[in-house]
Amino acid sequence: MSPRRFVTFFALTAPALAAQAQTASLAEIQVRGSADYVSESSQAFTATRTDQSLMDVAQSVQVVGPSVLQEQQVRNLDDALSLVSGIAQAPTRAGTQDSFVRRGFTGSSSTGLLRDGVRSIQARNFSATTERIEVLKGPTSTLYGIQEPGGVINVVSKVPMLTSRTGLQLDTEQAGGYGAQFDTTGPITGTDWSYRLIASTEDRDDWRNFGRTRRDLLAPSLAWRSGGTEGVLAYEHTDYEVPFDDGTIFGANGRPIDIPRKRRLTESFSRMTGNTDFINTRLQHAFNSQWTARVNYAFNRNRYSDWRVRPNRYDDATGLLRRRADGRQNVDDSSNYLVADLVGKFRTGAVGHELLVGVDHERTLGRTGGELARITYNGFDTANPVYEQVPVPTAYDDTTRNARSFLRTTSLFAQDSVSLGERWIVSGSVRYQRWRQVEGAGLNYVETQNISGSEVLPRVGALYKLSPQVSLYANYATSFVPNLASSPAQAAFDPTKGRSMELGTKFQLSQRLSGTFALFDIEKKNIVVNLDDDTAQAIGKARSRGAELDMTGQVSAALRFIAAYAYTDTKVLEDASGLQGNRLPNAPKHSASIAAHFAPGWRTGDLPWHFNAAVRYAGERQGDAANSLTLPSYTVADLGLGTRFDWNGSTLHLDVLLRNAFDRAYYPSADGPLRVLVGAPRQLGVRLRATF
């Protein structure tokens, strides 16, 4: 972080910090890190769009709560979701966006990722505003419309609180650079309003031989609570600059080329710069103890330009690499979303109902000024690289000018969760969705796609309580996703459709241990996979079957953990292009993780010590749809320790974390042999935080 930005950040936050420290009593502040993991994962809005207990939901749902995020020093969604079964990293568009495999299937960055229940088009969704992460497994189209059959990931933001609190955090890593966060919240005296202001800045050197990441975030929010009415108005703005880095390459034998992990195969100008905005307004009114009406409007925007140098062809005999220079300019993706619904909790005789009915409308518009003309350059020596021989691309490909992709949907949806006595809960939901999709491009804009249609998407589930602590469940659900074109010159594919069946059990024992075990079977048609030339093709039908186990536990006052295991077997069932029988890319057959926090009460003088550890395993994965390369299995461990001490009347927390402690070489995901993401080597990080 530059000195100017560092000074500016603290000039803005220091006055508020000082004022808050004078008005807030330490006795009023409770740090969420002391909460046990079991209670943090007992409810999730994402599961039913209501406050129903997860023990009563006939679907697998996991929550990565604030304690886990804090203790494991989670920096991004990749870190957080490595602790959830059935989730793996997918190609991240050269490290510039969030993308995940869910139960074997990869979706685009705009499907399967939610921010506070709203579809996100942000490039990266984890930030200083993140409170927790909810993962709902299986199809969720009846609740959230256009979604993949593997499930959705909902990033839940922090909201204004009625208790005054201010937090400050500083961190640095071995590669170089800094990060800082400021978070203040509390009531506005004499009113029904409360506020929250979150600001963060980071300026980090990349661990590879060149590159830098910069992000600045400002997120104010207001909440109003009066009687049975509550409202939240939240805004988040981020400016960012990140390297555009496709990683390393594999040879014709499907094995890694002998290239140091730190060596980039791109150029220093290969990067993305942009900014994002997210506005979310929520209003709800409880008419009485049974009925509540809610309205939610959200606006998403992501604007960026990028310049890229990407591997294009590798010669195994000479070690020379052909690279392609291009880029995408003046991209402006935006989304408007409006939903209104009514929640009712009532009884008809001996039958209890939790009813949800609503209507939503979403309008997504993607605009691109144009793509830079592709120019190839030969002779890059991967063993003895010479950089700065490729000029920054400037010429446009006129066929890609003024690209537009428009998608509009309007839906009616209903859900009822019916309690039949003390043991049975039967749930059903249905969505009727109308959609229209328009695309086109060109210097003289030409429309290439204009289609519309409607879908009926049902879901049914049943749950039986063996006891208040153990339940069995089953569900059947469907999904639907319109496929946008992969490039302005390529027409859109037919919509993707999926269906899923799931059987499972949930348990919560002695308030110390909770978990979910699930068996699933998913089929999906018209799956679009990426090709090396940035175009795509559709697979006829594929299947994913498997088993998942997720557990959280508070073993004792000193020890808590979160653990996961998944077995995922994928197969292409039908395909005319020769992919039939292949496994789906980036989906490990076996994966597992465990993270733990241990505070044994050991002290050095007045300093108490605690320890953190996380171990993640991923089995072999196919690196592309053709199964031409296999990514090796890997096990990576993070080890940390920390303490707390008093300073100037406040308690400060100091934590040290050694990521990839045993310095394992690994490859999290790939988009073909020329785009293989490289895992970071051993890195030491230090974090200092305080709450006033």
Highest mean pLDDT among 35-49, 467-481, 525-539: 467-481
Q: What is the DSSP string of 43-80?
A: B-HHHHSS--BGGG-SS-EEEE-HHHHHHTT--SHHHH
Checking if the pLDDT of 257 tops 90, the result is yes
% helix, strand, coil for the chain, step of 5: 10, 60, 35
Checking if the pLDDT of 562 tops 50, the result is yes
Give the pLDDT confidence score for residue 15 in this predicted structure.
37
Q: pLDDT band at 486, cuts 50/70/90? A: low
SS (H, E, C) 27-44: HHCCCHHHCCHHHHCCEC
Give the pLDDT confidence score for residue 648 in this predicted structure.
82
Give the pLDDT confidence score for residue 141 in this predicted structure.
84
**8 A C-beta contact, residue 62 and residue 41:** yes
* Range with the poorest average pLDDT among 7-11, 102-106, 509-513: 7-11
Q: pLDDT band at 492, cuts 50/70/90? A: low
Give the pLDDT confidence score for residue 22 in this predicted structure.
32
Across the range 447-454, mean pLDDT stands at: 91
Checking if the pLDDT of 594 tops 80, the result is yes
Give the pLDDT confidence score for residue 139 in this predicted structure.
82
Higher pLDDT, 43 or 691: 691
Contacts of 498 (CB under 8 A, 6+ apart): 105, 139, 148, 149, 478, 479, 480, 522, 523, 524, 525
Each residue's pLDDT tens digit, 12-69? 444 333 333 333 322 222 333 334 566 665 666 776 788 888 889 999 999 999 999 9
**Token pair of 422 as six digits:** 């003390």
Q: pLDDT band at 534, cuts 50/70/90? A: low
Give the pLDDT confidence score for residue 18 in this predicted structure.
35
Give the pLDDT confidence score for residue 26 in this predicted structure.
24
Q: What is the DSSP string of 492-512?
A: PPPPEEEEEEEEEEEEEETTT
Percent of the chain whose pLDDT exceeds 90: 78
Q: pLDDT band at 284, cuts 50/70/90? A: very high
Checking if the pLDDT of 678 tops 80, the result is yes
Distance between CA atoms of residues 328 and 330, nearest Å: 7
Angle at 551 between CA 549 and CA 552, to 5 degrees: 165
Across the range 85-104, mean pLDDT stands at: 93
Across the range 133-151, mean pLDDT stands at: 88
With H, G, I as helix, E, B as strand and everything else as coil, classify residue 12.
helix
Domains observed in the chain: 31-157+244-691 (2.40.170.20)
Checking if the pLDDT of 370 tops 90, the result is yes
Give the pLDDT confidence score for residue 108 in this predicted structure.
61
Cβ-count burial of 394 within 10 angstroms (0-12 exposed, 13-18 middle, 19+ buried)? exposed
**8 A C-beta contact, residue 572 and residue 78:** no
Element of type H or E holding 683:
strand 683-691
Give the pLDDT confidence score for residue 37 in this predicted structure.
66
Percent of the chain whose pLDDT exceeds 70: 90
Q: Residue 655 is which amino acid?
A: D
- Considering the entire predicted model, what is its pTM? 0.91
For the chain, the C-alpha Rg in angstroms (whole number) is 25
Give the pLDDT confidence score for residue 43 in this predicted structure.
63
Higher pLDDT, 9 or 224: 224
* Range with the poorest average pLDDT among 104-108, 218-222, 654-658, 669-673: 104-108
Mean pLDDT of the residues in the chain: 90
Across the range 285-293, mean pLDDT stands at: 95
Checking if the pLDDT of 592 tops 90, the result is yes
Distance between CA atoms of residues 53 and 653, nearest Å: 33
